[in-house]
């Protein structure tokens, strides 16, 4: 773990921490490429127009982030995507993709890669947890991956990122699960473990914890 953290710090320089590049692939519950939303079709074998658009959106955001939100030039997103600058500009406009605020929690957590790493780590801990694991028992791999994707989109958009969340609201998504106060405590413990393991700084840790706590009334239904 120490090596991973050291690598993340080295890779980050003065920018946000880049956990994903620092983590060996064995740290993930399944290979990183499996969870790339743009690389997957739905269970029905094809994407609807809306899903296709979301997939395009994720792809453009990834390219924009990789190129530091520069459109033009050899390292710019347009060249990397194999598009003209004007075509890219018009797709960004059509999909309403905007550069996130540098001070947003999204950027401070390492943008899409940081949030994906965080969500995956947290989700892996939840599924494997002796008390919380029951909520995912018997679910299909596809269902679990879809949920992870929704969690990434939810966290990204809540933190001020350009992702579009297309899932249910927190009340609807969790109501039938009958999540108890004790489950919530267990969840908070793994949330904190994740934040510490990924060496998220204190300020951001507090912000994530406060945001999560604001969802409690929507998620917990039983004492
Ligand atoms: C004790 C805590 C929690 C447990 C046990 C839990 C469990 C689950 C389960 C089992 C699902 C799948 C529901 C279904 O497919 O019907 C789900 C969905 C989801 N959860 Fe949680 N969750 C917890 C807390 C949270 C928190 C704090 C967040 C946000 C930060 C969150 C975000 C989501 C999202 C975005 C979905 C997908 C919604 C959708 O399917 O439309 N969950 N959760």
Question: Residue 148: its pLDDT value, please?
Answer: 92
The residue whose C-alpha atom lies closest to atom 22 belonging to ligand 1 is 174
Give the list of residues 6+ apart from residue 31 with CB closer than 8 angstroms, or none.
25
Question: What span, in angstroms and rounded, lies between the C-alpha atoms of 81 and 63?
Answer: 7
Question: Residue 39: its pLDDT value, please?
Answer: 45
**Ligand 1 midpoint to CA 138 (Å):** 16
- Which residue numbers in the chain have pLDDT < 50? 1-15, 18, 20-39
Question: Residue 9: its pLDDT value, please?
Answer: 46
Burial of 85 (0-12, 13-18, 19+ CB in 10 A): middle
Question: Residue 27: its pLDDT value, please?
Answer: 34
**Ligand 1 midpoint to CA 18 (Å):** 25
Question: Residue 194: its pLDDT value, please?
Answer: 96
Helix (H, G, I), strand (E, B) or coil at 148: helix
**Ligand 1 midpoint to CA 148 (Å):** 9
The bridge status of strand 179-180 relative to strand 220-222 is: parallel
Tokens describing residue 74: 């050899």
**Ligand 1 midpoint to CA 72 (Å):** 39
Q: Rounded to an integer, what is the distance from CA 136 to the centroid of its chain?
A: 19
- Kindly report, residue by residue over 129-188, the tens digit of the pLDDT: 999 999 999 999 888 998 999 999 999 999 999 999 989 999 999 999 999 999 999 999
Establish whether residue 30 lines the binding site of ligand 1, counting it when its CB lies within 6 angstroms of any ligand atom: no
Which of 157, 219, 222 should be mutated for ligand 1, with most atoms under 8 A from CB? 219
Which of 132, 157, 170, 173 should be mutated for ligand 1, with most atoms under 8 A from CB? 173
Question: Residue 11: its pLDDT value, please?
Answer: 44
Question: What span, in angstroms and rounded, lies between the C-alpha atoms of 175 and 186?
Answer: 18
**Ligand 1 midpoint to CA 9 (Å):** 30
Establish whether residue 218 lines the binding site of ligand 1, counting it when its CB lies within 6 angstroms of any ligand atom: no
Question: What span, in angstroms and rounded, lies between the C-alpha atoms of 59 and 56?
Answer: 5
CB neighbours of residue 129 within 10 Å: 17
């Amino acid at each position: 773990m120490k090596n991973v953290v050291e690598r993340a710090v080295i890779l980050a320089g003065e920018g946000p921490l880049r956990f994903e590049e620092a983590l060996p692939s064995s740290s993930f519950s399944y290979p990183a490429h499996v969870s790339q939303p743009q690389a997957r079709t739905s269970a029905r074998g094809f994407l609807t127009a809306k899903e296709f658009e979301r997939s395009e959106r994720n792809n453009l955001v990834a390219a924009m982030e990789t190129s530091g939100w520069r459109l033009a030039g050899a390292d710019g997103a347009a060249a990397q995507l194999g598009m003209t600058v004007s075509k890219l500009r018009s797709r960004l406009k059509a999909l309403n993709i905007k550069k996130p605020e540098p001070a947003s929690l999204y950027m401070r957590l390492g943008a899409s890669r940081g949030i994906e790493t965080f969500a995956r780590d947290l989700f892996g801990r939840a599924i494997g947890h002796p008390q919380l694991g029951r909520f995912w028992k018997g679910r299909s791999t596809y269902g679990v991956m879809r949920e992870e994707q929704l969690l990434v989109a939810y966290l990204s958009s809540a933190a001020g990122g350009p992702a579009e969340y297309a899932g249910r609201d927190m009340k609807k998504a969790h109501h039938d699960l009958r999540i108890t106060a004790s489950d919530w405590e267990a969840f908070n413990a793994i949330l904190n473990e994740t934040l510490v393991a990924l060496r998220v700084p204190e300020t951001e840790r507090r912000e994530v914890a406060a945001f999560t706590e604001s969802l409690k009334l929507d998620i917990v239904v039983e004492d």
